[in-house]
Each structure stands twice: as C-alpha cells, then as structure tokens.
Amino acid sequence: MKVAIIGSNGQLGTDLVEVLSKNHEVLGLTHNEIDISDFEKTKEVLGAIKPEILLNTAAYHNVPLCESNAMLAFQVNAIGAQNLALLSNELKYKLVHYSTDYVFDGVKGKPYIESDNTSPLNVYAISKVSGENFVKNYCDNYYIARISGIYGKTQCRAKGGNFITTMIKLAKEKPEVRVVNDEILTPTATLDIAQNTAALINTEAFGTYHMTCESECSWYEFAKEIFKTLNLKTPLYETSVSKMQITVKRPFYSVLENRRLKDLGINIMPHWKESLNNFLNREYL
C-alpha cells in the first residue's frame, strides 16, 4: 500500500515511517514540503503523490502558545484537518488523523471510551475537537486515533523535547525537581502507537479509536519511574497544579480506554511502565 505521512520528521512521524516502511511503500512529508492549512498547495502535493492512505501527525500542540495564538491553532488543527478530509474523497485516500486525550474535561473520573461526549477546556483542545468533527463529517474513510502523553526517540519539533528529556534536563540543572501529582493520564511511546496504527490500517473498521498504553498514572508517578530507571539522584518531590504557575485549563483526569481496539482484537498496547522501561533501556541504558 502506498502510504504518505505528514510530519514524518516529528516525534510520532519518525516511528510511523520506520514501522510502516516494513510492509508498505512510505513517503514522508515534512512541514517544508506540505502546509495542510493551504488547501490548494496541499491538493497539488497530494495529487502528485496519489497515496492510498494518508497519516496526519501535523498539529500545533504547544498548549500555552495555543491560548495566545488561537488563529494559528485553528488553522493547523481544524482547517488543516478539514482540508485533508475534503481531499480524501476527491483523491481517494483513507485518512488517519491523530487527536488527543485533551478533548475531554476529566470530570468523568474514570477511563474515557470513544463514544463519550467531548468537552474541551482550552484553545488547543477546542481546535482538536473541531478537527475531529471536520474529519468525521467530510471524510468517508477515516480513522481518528486519540493519543496521550506521547514520547519518542525524536524530539518534538514544536516543543523541543518531551517529558522524559525535560526530566533528565531538570535533574542535571536543578537542586530538586517538583512534578504535579493531580493530573492523571496514560503516557504512551510513539513506537507503540506506530505499531498499533499498522494493525489498524489493515482493517476497514473506520471510525474513532483510543490508542494509549494500558493503566494510568500521575505525572509525578511517571517522573518517579524515569528517575528510578535512569538512576537520577536529584531529589524528586510531589506538588499540585494549584502550586504551579499553570494558567491554562487542563483536564485533571484524561485516561483513555482502548475499547474499540479491544473489540476488534487488535489492541497491542502494553502497560505504560513496561513501555517506558523498554524505551529507556533502548535509548538511554
């Protein structure tokens, strides 16, 4: 199958290229090669490539910057998704669009399933919900994959790193590190997402999916496991969101259950601790 991956040099895109190249003809597209917010240029690029399936990892996802750059957030996360959805029917490709756990407000207090109503709390989340809705309403053959707390071997282009690289940096530079214990999620390695994506696109079961590792933890518990595995000696302490200078509303609980992947029998996501330890041993030890 001929596969095009938008954002192929990013954190998720890099692993998607590596995994999907084993069984498919893969063409990677970077931001310099395609701007999904420009309909005509996007049509020109994709019309020349003629992919059978298109994976969109492009997103404006720096949450604080989205608050002050709402127009840009919507141009990429919403209008960009709309453009790809509209073109999917015209150019006859299947679309994989990646979304986020932040589409929920956390009030439920237990894992969200795909059919739960979205309730975004900030500009980033609202723009991602808008993108989902454009894909659902304009694309005939789509997979929306909601992911959470991602990390990978390639640094995030927009943020310059991920939670793991941030913890390592802080442990080297600071006398102590404090991490919030009241935001609960499921951190997920991009390699696991890529492998489960490979399984999903072999089906014709279109729709919305949750694609995260199993179980849940706080950011503090995630940090604690990183410090333990990498033997970081800097003191690590718990704190709360209320004590941090965090101004953007975020869900306190955004754990996703991979209900639809399980129903299909293709949920291959490991426990978050297993995935993290595999990643750290592979990349750092």
The DSSP line for 21-59 is TTTSEEEEE-TTT--TT-HHHHHHHHHHH--SEEEE---
pLDDT in tens, 146-183: 999 999 998 766 556 799 999 999 999 999 999 999 99
Residue 156 has a pLDDT of 65
Residue 158 has a pLDDT of 59
pLDDT in tens, 214-270: 999 999 999 999 999 999 999 999 999 988 877 899 999 999 999 999 999 999 999
95 phi/psi in degrees, rounded to 5: -115, 130
Residue 161 has a pLDDT of 76
DSSP 8-state assignment for residue 22:
T
Query: 57: closest CA among 11, 98, 24, 100?
Result: 98
Q: Indicate the pTM of the whole model.
A: 0.95
Residue 79 has a pLDDT of 98
Domains annotated for the chain, with CATH where assigned, are 2-158+187-214+254-270 (3.40.50.720)
Residue 168 has a pLDDT of 96
Residue 243 has a pLDDT of 86
Of all residues in the chain, what percent carry a pLDDT higher than 70? 98
Residue 11 has a pLDDT of 93
